[in-house]
Each structure stands twice: as structure tokens, then as C-alpha cells.
Amino acid sequence: MRPLLALVLALLVLAPCGARAGRMLRVASEGARPPFNYLDADNRLAGFEIDLMREICKRIDAECEFVTQEWENLVPGLVAKQYDLVVAAMEITEERRRRIAFSAPYAHTPSSLVVDRERTLAGVDAGALKELRVGVEAESAQQAYFEDKLPNVELRRYATLEAAMLDLSEDRIDVVADDKLAAVEFLKNRREGRCCRIAADLPQDADYFGAGLGVGLRQEDSALKSSVDAALAAIIADGTLRAISAKYFDFEIY
């Protein structure tokens, strides 16, 4: 047997089963925003974003190590090259874009309209809502949307979603507009939520509800961003994103 061939065969025998020749990447997450990311019973990162990131890493042929980081240190740590990627339910904003880059969005949290179980809505425009009293959290994206887009609707402002939902359950208002994830959790887990249901979603207007959640990267890592974006596009196209999100959410998030 030729010496070079013998060496190659020996290395194959000695190589660990399942070893991959991809790039090693460190991925940071907060671990404090379930179901997007959280720490499981073994204190390891888990959740929708962690499963999604594992799939991305597989498709870009990378070995990914997950690390926890406090929220306020996520961006500084990325810039300082303590890790390579951030996946932490981080909204894509212009302010953050001045410091880091983002992948294409992988999730959007809709804004929803909650009503009494006996009520139906004809739509989500001014004509359908003009006779209704709509509750929103003060200084929220939903307040800004209604004030700008539906100024003729009777708007009631509340300090918290709970306060608005309590008034809805007592028929003091007709509709509550809020983040869908928060609304779903309230309806599912609070006694006061038994009265009501989600009737419709507001249009996904980026000017009010953001551009979505993205994977954070350093601005100079353009090749890595291109790889992540290509993997995300494939994951969305072949239904994998929908399958992963269905394990954690009762509604579409993309």
C-alpha cells in the first residue's frame, strides 16, 4: 500500500464518528426570552431560536458553540469578537444597524386584536373599527399605529395589557390591540382571558411594528452574513422554519 494512502486511511479510522470539517462559530443568546430562547433543566440554551440556529449551522457546514450572555452585553461582546453571532429575539433597528449587521428576518411578532368571544370583526380598517372602543398600552407601537393610521377610532390608553384586558372583560371597551405573543399568553394563562379571543391581526407595517427579528453579526463579516441569509432562505422555502416554529408557537411568526 502506498504510504500516502495508508496515512489517509489511518486518519479516517482515528477520526471521531460524525466529525465535520466546518468552521467553528460561537453563538450568543440571552436565555431569558421563552419560547425564543431560555435555559432548560440542564442549564443549557434551548428554544425556537436555538433550534433554528442549529439548523443554520448545519446548512453552512459550521460547528456552533452556544454561550449565554446578559442582554446589555450582547452587542458589545459581538463587536469585541467574544462570539460570532447573536440570536436573542433581537429586533432589527436602524440604531443597532449602526453598530452591527443583521441577517434577513426570521420572525415577526404580529399585533393582534382581542375581542369578546361573541364578537366578530368585519375587518381591521377604519370602517370596521370606527364604532368600537379600542384599548392599547400607552406609548406602544399599537398606540402609534392607531393614532396615525386610524385616527377616528376611539382610543383608550392603559398602563398595562392586564389593565386593558380587565376593561375588555368588563365590557368597558370593545377591542384590545397588543403584541400577539403577549396576548396569547394572557388568554391562555389568566382567568380574565377566558372571556375573549384573538379576532384578527393588524397589517405587518414595519414603520410601526419593526422589521422583524434577525441574527446579529459583525459588520465586517459579509461572507458569513451571505451564508446565513442563504441558509435562512432555504429553511423558509422548504418549510423547515414553519416546522421548527410550530413546536413553540400557536401562530405563524414569519
Contacts of 12 (CB under 8 A, 6+ apart): none
Alpha-carbon distance 155 to 197, whole Å? Answer: 20
Task: Assign 207 a pLDDT band (cuts: 50, 70, 90).
Answer: very high
Common-topology check for domains 22-108+211-246 and 111-209: yes
As given in the structure block, the three cell numbers for residue 234 are: 432555504
Residue 100 clears pLDDT 50, i.e. is over it? yes
Mean pLDDT of 121-140: 94
DSSP conformation letters of 81-132: TS-SEE-SS-B--HHHHTT-EE-S--B---EEEEEETT---S-SSHHHHTTS
By percentage, how much of the chain surpasses pLDDT 90?
86
Assess contact for 56 and 104: CB atoms under 8 A: no
| Alpha-carbon span 89 to 250, nearest angstrom | 17
Q: What is the pLDDT of residues 55-80, one digit of tens each?
A: 999 999 999 999 999 999 999 999 99
Q: What is the pLDDT of residues 218-230, one digit of tens each?
A: 999 999 999 999 9
Question: Shortest CA distance to 184 belongs to which of 34, 30, 46, 52?
Answer: 34
Q: What superfamily does domain 22-108+211-246 belong to in CATH?
A: Periplasmic binding protein-like II (3.40.190.10)
In angstroms and rounded to an integer, the radius of gyration of the C-alpha atoms of the chain is 23
pLDDT of residue 208: 95
CB 120 within 8 A of CB 175: no
CA distance 11 to 31: 38
Report the CATH number of the 111-209 domain. Answer: 3.40.190.10
pTM beyond 0.85: the answer is no
Domain boundaries, the chain: 22-108+211-246, 111-209
Residue 47: per-residue pLDDT:
98
| pLDDT > 70: percent of the chain | 92
- Band (pLDDT 50/70/90 cuts) for residue 191 is confident
Query: What single string gives the DSSP state of each residue in 158-191?
Result: ESSHHHHHHHHHTTS-SEEEEEHHHHHHHHHH-G
Residue 106, pLDDT above cutoff 80: yes
Q: Which strands, in side-by-side order, build the sheet including 196-201?
A: 154-158, 133-137, 175-179, 111-116, 196-201
